[in-house]
Copies of this chain bind each other. A is one copy, B any other.
Amino acid sequence: MDEPIEMSLDPKDWSAFRRVAHEALNDALDFLETVRERPVWKPVPPEIRAQLLNEALPVDESPLETVYEQFRTRILPYATGNVHPRFFGWVHGAGQAGNIVAEMLAAAMNSNCGGRDHGAIYVEREVLGWCKQLFGFPSEASGLIVSGTSMANLVALGVARNARGPLRTSGVGQAADRLVAYTSVETHESIAKALEILGLGSCSLRKVPINRDATIDLSTLQQFIAEDKAAGLRPYCLIGCAGTVNTGAVDDLQELARISKTEDIWFHVDGAFGALCMLSEKLQHRLKGIEQADSLAFDFHKWAHVQYDAGCVLVRRADLHRAAYSMRPPYLQGLSRGLGAGQDWPCELGIELSRSFRALKIWFAFKEHGARKLGQLIERNCEQARYLAERVATKPELELLSPAYLNIVCFRVRAAGLDEKSLDQMNAEIVTDIQESGVAAPSTTRVHGRLAIRINITNHRTQFRDLDVLVNAVLKAFHSRLALRIPQLPDA
């Protein structure tokens, strides 16, 4: 049959297309090379928001050049900001230029990593092999590259749940009413959320108080477990935290491993950003015990600066991992040869059947930079946090709210005559003032009930002098705010 019109989505004019693509690549690399010269963040102007939000579904074709031009003017200037050396908000990695290359190559291959027998599958296995080596997991452990620790926690806790019975078919039903998991009050909310999704409910998570250093209080934990067992409940899972989101504290993982063995319960570690301290010889002692976890969740897009999104879950017992998620209907039957060959398709180890080739950017990151340098940059961020904490301590206007356990420092401004509520408001305003100024991007949290300026340093571009800039910006914003407040104070 003759094709009357040759039609596809491929460029009609490949050389014109290539010109635009190379121009876009230049701009992408310029964007990173000149990042320090730009504001950390600026808000999307209202007219651009309106343009984006009011446009109907495009019906007609447009040349790539036109689409690219829209991107360049309407979208590129308004990035989250985490590529900038003075982005200190939340826990964001800073990305890396090499991953621009990795992502374009993954896009060219357009692999679906749900399963089957092709190159991307082996790259993912290689990356998982590196992770097992790094964390002292046995080579027969299983793992999966996922979007991040929220997903990794969900996948792991699903394995822990399903290890308790044939819950896949029957549902958690009444059995679940007695299952109890334990973690500290400082653990990330994705743990509670995972339990909600899994049908166990957030009330099945007992939150254990913390010590002064923000780590889980082990004696209260043991007391809770004993009480629950006496009450006929079934403790089944203990979640340790390697790097709390508020202050960067690391639980005593070795003791948690011991307790979980004694009590015969699943030991999961949420190591979202902290786990990669294993890359540093100086810091890895802080993670002792992590190698005994039944499952481990962590991110590459934080402290390995892999581009968003990229995380990982490791599960010690591959049989339990597979038993929790494997499903191979007729159209996915494995074969001994051809494209349908291969054991242990990744879709058997998690939630997703369609999966992008995320492993490639991780592969590039570790190959290009090597574990040693990545570890040194993590160490430097921790040194920078200590440096910042020292600077804060020397300023009478500033109050340190949590020291630099790892890479996070929480502090606030203070002034005589301002009550706690006004201080909370003032500190929140200072954070947004600084964000809007474009000088830096801190974020906020609460420490001991107080609103804190939270500085998280997971940034390979940050230099010590950037922290001086930050402290000066806080003080400047504080004095401007104070000056504004004076007329509001009652007359003397």
The answer to whether A9 touches B370, judged by C-beta atoms less than 8 angstroms apart, is no
How many residues does chain A have at the interface if contact means C-beta atoms less than 8 Å apart? Answer: 186
Closest to A350 in B: B150
The answer to whether A111 touches B204, judged by C-beta atoms less than 8 angstroms apart, is no
The answer to whether A82 touches B101, judged by C-beta atoms less than 8 angstroms apart, is no
Stretch in contact with the other chain, from A235-243, A435-443, A482-490: A435-443
User: Per a CB cutoff under 8 Å, which of B106, B173, B202, B355 touches A201?
Assistant: B173
Q: Mark each residue of chain A from 322 to 358: 1 if its CB lies under 8 Å from any CB of chain B, else 0.
A: 0001010111110101111100000000011111110
Interface residues of A in 97-140 (CB under 8 A from B): 97-113, 116-120, 122-123, 125-126, 129-130, 133-134
Copies of chain A in the complex: 2
The answer to whether A173 touches B174, judged by C-beta atoms less than 8 angstroms apart, is yes
Check if A197 is an interface residue, CB within 8 A of chain B.
yes
A167 to chain B, nearest CB (A): 7
Stretch in contact with the other chain, from A212-220, A222-230, A411-419, A456-464: A456-464
The answer to whether B199 touches A198, judged by C-beta atoms less than 8 angstroms apart, is yes
Check if A312 is an interface residue, CB within 8 A of chain B.
no
User: Per a CB cutoff under 8 Å, which of B75, B112, B461 touches A120?
Assistant: B75
A96–B460 CA distance with the chains assembled, in angstroms? 33
Stretch in contact with the other chain, from A27-35, A252-260, A261-269: A27-35
User: Per a CB cutoff under 8 Å, which of B67, B357, B364, B436 touches A338?
Assistant: B436
The answer to whether A52 touches B108, judged by C-beta atoms less than 8 angstroms apart, is no
The answer to whether A52 touches B373, judged by C-beta atoms less than 8 angstroms apart, is no
Q: A173-B176, A198-B198, A436-B338 are contacts. A108–B32 as well, Cβ < 8 Å?
A: yes
Check if A86 is an interface residue, CB within 8 A of chain B.
no
A47 to chain B, nearest CB (A): 12
The answer to whether A118 touches B9, judged by C-beta atoms less than 8 angstroms apart, is no
User: Per a CB cutoff under 8 Å, which of B9, B123, B335 touches A369?
Assistant: B9
User: Per a CB cutoff under 8 Å, which of B64, B116, B361, B366 touches A101?
Assistant: B64
The answer to whether A327 touches B198, judged by C-beta atoms less than 8 angstroms apart, is no
Check if A367 is an interface residue, CB within 8 A of chain B.
yes
Check if A142 is an interface residue, CB within 8 A of chain B.
no
Closest to A174 in B: B174
The answer to whether A112 touches B197, judged by C-beta atoms less than 8 angstroms apart, is no
Check if A41 is an interface residue, CB within 8 A of chain B.
yes
Stretch in contact with the other chain, from A16-24, A287-295, A397-405: A16-24
Q: List 17 A-B contacts (CB under 8 A).
A: A9-B369, A10-B33, A24-B101, A44-B122, A57-B371, A61-B373, A71-B360, A75-B109, A75-B119, A79-B119, A89-B116, A90-B331, A90-B332, A112-B308, A147-B354, A199-B200, A331-B446
List of 4 A-B pairs having minimum Cβ-Cβ separation, nearest first: A199-B199, A171-B201, A78-B119, A338-B432
